[in-house]
Amino acid sequence: MMISQNTTARCAKCNGTFWIITETGVARRCDCWEKERQNRTLKFASIPEKYKAATFQNFDIGVYANKGVAEKIKKMCEMYAEEFEPGNKGLYIHSQTKGSGKTRIAATICNKLIEKKVLVKFATSSSILEEIKKTWQKTSEYAESVLIDKLIMVDVLVIDDFGTEKPKDWINDKFYYIINERYINSKTTIYTSNYKLSELDYDDRITNRLKEVCYQIPFLEESIREKQATNNIEEFKTLYLNGNKGDWR
């Protein structure tokens, strides 16, 4: 989770300034600006590499045994993203089962929001805490307050894998501060978690806020990693055993 800026590949037309001065002396955005703006947005968003191309179109419900429920959740999330407006309530997507696809659906929502030019930031709960700890070092590029301001002011913040940390006092305090400031500033937060709100070890101030500002979505209790493993065996056969359908094990 970096907040540095992108400074690669300088455009020859504007010499990397993203502005062009016209003959009449008026400044206008260079043609390269839109691409740069998108790059910055994507970089800032920090969607995990694996999910950068995740869309509702390629969200495969075929990997779930319970396809009816998967389809419903997918549709709800798609509609939520399509109709999203800044200040809307957030989501608390939870299921005990790891590898059920919670991160994937959250990233898919993010990608849709980015398309709608909403400023989004995706971070795991542990990466937020790590970044905060890093700012305490003397060599840190920026102060803790700068990082926290970024986390507070982004339109949509995704906190992936919420509730995995041991609830030390400082962790409770930081999360409460971020969550509460986002609440006060009408910013939307989307969580994924292996815990129901009632099972979270954080203090009640946090869980009460979440109850107030999130739609709780019970996600599927099945691991798609198992299904993926089976698919991988089939893929391996197709790729490397050309037509050799015999028993290869």
Chain positions contacting Zn ion, by CB under 5 A: 11, 13-14, 30, 32
Q: What is the nearest approach in angstroms of Zn ion to the Cβ of residue 196?
A: 50
- Which residues contact residue 206 at a Cβ distance below 8 angstroms, ignoring those fewer than 6 apart? 172, 175, 176, 179, 200
Residue with smaller CB distance to Zn ion, 32 or 118: 32
Q: What is the nearest approach in angstroms of Zn ion to the Cβ of residue 14?
A: 3
Contact present, 107 and 54 (Cβ < 8 Å):
yes
Q: What angle do CA 184, 113, 50 make, to 5 degrees?
A: 115
- Helix, strand, or coil (residue 215): strand
Beta strand 27-29 with 214-218: parallel, antiparallel or unpaired? unpaired
Q: What is the nearest approach in angstroms of Zn ion to the Cβ of residue 39?
A: 13
Q: What is the nearest approach in angstroms of Zn ion to the Cβ of residue 43?
A: 18
Residue with smaller CB distance to Zn ion, 32 or 120: 32
Q: What is the nearest approach in angstroms of Zn ion to the Cβ of residue 18?
A: 6
Q: What is the nearest approach in angstroms of Zn ion to the Cβ of residue 28?
A: 11
Residue with smaller CB distance to Zn ion, 11 or 119: 11
CA-nearest of 76, 42, 17, 9 to 220 is 76
Contact present, 55 and 47 (Cβ < 8 Å):
no
Residue with smaller CB distance to Zn ion, 15 or 96: 15
CA-nearest of 231, 202, 191 to 105 is 191
Question: Assign residue 140 a region: left if phi > 0, alpha if psi is -120 to 50, beta otherwise?
Answer: beta
Residue with smaller CB distance to Zn ion, 28 or 50: 28
Q: What is the nearest approach in angstroms of Zn ion to the Cβ of residue 169?
A: 49
| Cα 123 to Cα 105: distance, rounded to the nearest angstrom | 14
Annotate 100-157 with DSSP letters as a single string: SSHHHHHHHHHHHHHHTT--EEEEEHHHHHHHHHHTTSTT-SS-HHHHHHHHHHSSEE
Residue with smaller CB distance to Zn ion, 32 or 109: 32
Residue with smaller CB distance to Zn ion, 33 or 56: 33
